[in-house]
Amino acid sequence: MNCGKKVKFDTKEEAELFITSLGPDGQGLTAYLCNLHRCWHMGHPKNYDDNPVARINNILDKLSDGYR
């Protein structure tokens, strides 16, 4: 997980407020909790490197596709 260079927020509200302030540029960005830094980052849900759960879900989706 390489999030050391990412912007850190103390609270989820702070992160979401920042995303909102970006306007159209912030579309698709979400705030997520970082266990490493004990703070909040913002990122794209499609960035699977920063989101192991989403990555696993994506793999499971591909596997289930094979049975159709």
- Name the residues that contact Zn ion, by CB under 5 A: 3, 34, 36-37
Residue closer to Zn ion (CB basis): 36 or 60 = 36
Total H helices, total E strands in the chain: 2, 2
Cβ proximity of 44 and 28 under 8 Å: yes
Least distance in angstroms from the C-beta of 1 to Zn ion: 7
Least distance in angstroms from the C-beta of 38 to Zn ion: 8
Residue closer to Zn ion (CB basis): 49 or 60 = 49
Residue closer to Zn ion (CB basis): 3 or 54 = 3
Please give the structure tokens belonging to residue 40.
């909040």
Return the amino acid letter for 60. Answer: L
Cβ proximity of 49 and 3 under 8 Å: no
Least distance in angstroms from the C-beta of 58 to Zn ion: 21
